[in-house]
Amino acid sequence: MILLRRCAVVILLFGGLTPGLFAAKIRQATPVEGVYAGYIVTDAATGAVLLEDNADVTNPPASMTKLMTFAVLYDKLAEGAITLQTPVKIDASDARMGGTQVYLDARETFPVEELIHAMMIQSANDASHALARAAAGSVPAFVELMNAKARALGMTHTTFRTPHGLPPASRREADGDLTTPRDFARLCRYLVLSTDVLKYASIKERMFGTGVRATPMRMDNHNKLLDRIAGVDGLKTGYTQSAGYCLSATAERNGRRVIMVIMGSFGPGRTVDKGRARDFKAIELIEQGFAAQPSAPVVVSTAQPAPAKSSSAAAPTEVPTVKTDRSPAPPEQQSSTPTEPMFKFRVIPPEKKP
């Protein structure tokens, strides 16, 4: 059964290859044994747990933190406190943010929605900081709203300290954002059912700064399962050396939707593998999640609701994985998705016969 599931993962990735090329790809692939801190798969309609392993382990969410930032922004939009067109004047504190960014400049001004795109597609830390500051008056005030939202959603083992997921200056894991796979699955379910998060999280690529910058910047979504695994349309990746590779993903097929959260993933021996083991494990879990759902589908609408009072704007192989206890984080930590490692599926077209 395990072999069949792993074969299914390979077929998902290489379904477009001819038999000869498929076999060649398999021969060239290098076996990988990944590790992870914990995962969970739930039914989006009911919230029922379909699969889990160490789902209550505490782990930094890294850039997945931005999903809670989105949740609070959505509330602000619904309240009418801001609109999607509200101009956000960038200041020096935004421009100083490290890690993945869209390189905001204190001389620039962008509408809220443009910065939301940067946060959700590029995972831009500077955009997240600017949005938090603009929406609540200050970043600390915004973080208070994030924690209040977490409590309201029943995320009892979650604490946020930033709107972006960057590691703390102290480099002590306990001083940064912390959550669990189970808590984050609750957040993802809320977002999918009650907000328009997928409007942004499902976009594979987009230009940033059109109409503002002389040369707009291309943004590529770090979620490499989009448009490659059937039904996947969100949500968010994350990575720091302390957090490991994290992913919150959701997929819908034939009226059924699953939510999958995996945290603390690494390659063999906790090596940095650019998210390869995480993505393969995520694919396997999504497939198992759909297989574990009851035979009669529970139909739930995931149509994208519009916030009230807001304005609208126009070479792989099977990857066996094992759970390991998390070892102490290395002394030097990378910023949240510093240059978010990208997992790429390459499909080589067959040679044309003369």
Q: 244: Cβ–Cβ under 8 A, 6 or more apart, which residues?
A: 36, 37, 59, 263, 264, 265, 266, 270, 278, 326
Integer Cα distance of 226 and 222 in angstroms: 9
The C-alpha atoms of residue 214 and residue 234 are separated, in whole angstroms, by 30
Task: Check if 224 is active-site.
Answer: no
Q: What is the DSSP letter of 62?
A: G
Based on the residue annotation, tell me whether 63 is a catalytic residue of this protein.
yes
Q: How many CB atoms are located within 10 Å of the residue 61 CB?
A: 30
Sign of CA dihedral 135, 141, 143, 148: negative
Question: In sequence order, what DSSP letters do the residues of 326-349 get, joined into one string?
Answer: PPPPPSS-PPSSTT--------PP
CB atoms within 10 A of CB 285: 25
For the record, the structure tokens of 284 come out as 């396997």
66 a catalytic residue: yes
Of the candidates 198, 202, 203, 219, the one whose C-alpha atom is nearest the C-alpha of residue 337 is: 219
CB 208 within 8 A of CB 102: yes
Catalytic residue among 123, 242, 265, 335: 123
Say which of 63, 248, 310, 336 is annotated catalytic: 63
**Catalytic residue (one of 66, 76, 224, 281):** 66
Distance CA 105, CA 96 (A): 9
- Structure tokens of 154? 């029943």
| Residue 236 marked in a binding site | yes
The token pair at 70 is 């989105």
Provide the annotated binding site for substrate.
236
Provide the annotated binding site.
236
> Which are the catalytic amino acids?
63, 66, 123
